[in-house]
Structure 1
Amino acid sequence: MDDGVTIEDEGGPEIQNIQIENQDLKNQDLNFLQETVGPLFAEYGWYLLFMCVGVYLLVQHLSKRRKGTSKSTSGPMLDPDEVAKRQQALEASRKRMQEELDAKAALFKERRQQLEEEKRQQKIEMHESMEAGKSYKGNLKNAQDTEEPSTSTAVLKPKKDKKPLRSSDYNPLSGDGVLPCSFRGPRRRGPTAGGG
C-alpha cells in the first residue's frame, strides 16, 4: 500500500497508540453536539418539552391502571362457601322473577282470549241482527252504554235556531268572493319619481 503516506516508527508501538488516542479525543469534543443538537432544540424545543411531559403523564396513568387491575384480580380472597351461597341466592332470585313473569304472561294470554271471545260474540250478534233486518249500530250503542255508565249528569242539547256559518255556494278556492280572480302581477321596478 503505497498511498504516499509513510509511517515512521519513532519510539515503537506505544507512541503510535498514544497519538491515535489523542486524535480520537479531539473528535470526541462536544462541539459537534452543539452544532447538531443546538438548532434542533432552538427550533423544536417547546414541542419536545410538551411531548416529554405527555409521555410522562401517559406512563403514570398506565401504571396506576395496571396497579388498579392487579388489585382487583388479586383482591381479598372470598370464601368458597360464601361464593356458593351468593350463587344460590342469585339463582333463587332469578327463578322467582321467572315465575312472576310466567304468571303475568298467563294473565295476559287469558285476557287476550277473553277479548277475542267478546269480539267473536259481537260479530255473531251483529250477523244475527243483520239477518233479522235490524240495525246493529243501535244495539252496539246500547251495549256500550250498559257496560260503561255515564258519570256526567248534564246533557248537552243542540240549538234549534242554528244558522250556517257560510252559504252553501261557498268555495274556499275562489278567493274572498268579491272578485273572481284576485291575481296581481309583480310590481315593475323602475326609476323612482323623486325630486331632482
Structure 2
Amino acid sequence: MAAGMRPEVEEEGAHSLLETVGSLLSDYGWYILFSLIVVYLLVQKLAKSYRGTRRPCVDTAAIEPDAVVKRQEALLAARLRMQEELNAQAEKFKEKQKKQLSCYNPLSGEGGGTCSWRPGRRGPSAGG
C-alpha cells in the first residue's frame, strides 16, 4: 500500500513545483528576463576585455637576445629621431616669437591687426 501511494506523492510534488514556478514567472517574468539579458551582456563585455588584456604567455628562454638588442636599438633610434624633430620645431617657434616681438611696437599703431576698438560717445543717447 505504501508503494501505491508513492507515485501520487511524487505527482503532487511535481504539480506543486510547476505551480510555484509558474506563479513566480507570471509575477516576476519580465524582471527575470531583463536581469538575464543584463547578466549575459556583462559577461560578454568582461570576457572581451579579459581577452584583450591577457597577453600570450611567451617563454623567455625562446626569445633571442640578438633580436631583443636590435629591437631596443631601433626603439632608441626612433626616440632620438622624434626628439630631434621636436627640438627643431621648438627652435623654429622661438625664432618666430623673437621675430614677432622685435616687430611689435604698441605705440606705432601697427601690429594690432584687426583690433580697432574705440570707446563709445560720452553724450546721452538719442532716444526719447
- Please, what TM-score do these two structures have when normalized by structure 1? 0.37
Pairing partner for 2:84 from 67, 78, 96:
96
2:87 is aligned with what amino acid?
E
From the CA coordinates, give the structure whose radius of gyration is larger. Answer: 1
2:24 is aligned with what amino acid?
L
Unaligned 5+ runs, structure 1 = 1-18, 124-139, 145-171, 175-196
Give the share of equivalent positions with the same residue, in percent.
Answer: 24
Equivalent pairs counted in the alignment come to: 102
1:105, CA displacement in angstroms? 3.6
1:57, CA displacement in angstroms? 3.5
Q: How far apart are the structure 1 equivalents of 2:89 and 2:30?
A: 65
1:62, CA displacement in angstroms? 2.3
Question: 1:74: which partner in 2?
Answer: 56
1:110, CA displacement in angstroms? 3.4
- Please, what TM-score do these two structures have when normalized by structure 2? 0.51
Structure 1 segments of 4 or more deviating over 3 A?
75-79
1:113, CA displacement in angstroms? 5.1
1:84, CA displacement in angstroms? 0.9
Aligned CA-pair RMSD: 4.2
Pairing partner for 1:108 from 87, 96, 99:
96
Pairing partner for 1:53 from 6, 29, 37:
37
Distance 1:173 1:110, change over 3 A: closer
Question: 2:72: which partner in 1?
Answer: 84
Give a deviation string over 1:141-196, Cα, whole Å, max 9, x none: xxx9xxxxxxxxxxxxxxxxxxxxxxxxxxx546xxxxxxxxxxxxxxxxxxxxxx
2:56 is aligned with what amino acid?
S
1:59, CA displacement in angstroms? 1.8
1:86 is aligned with what amino acid?
A
Question: 1:161: which partner in 2?
Answer: none
Give a deviation string over 1:63-116, Cα, whole Å, max 9, x none: 23322322xx22887942343133213322232123213321441343145325
Q: Secondary structure at the match of 2:13?
A: coil
Unaligned 5+ runs, structure 2 = 111-125
Q: Which has the higher contact order (CA 8 A, sep 6+)?
A: 2
Q: How far apart are the structure 2 equivalents of 1:93 and 1:32?
A: 78
Q: How far apart are the structure 1 equivalents of 2:33 and 2:101?
A: 76
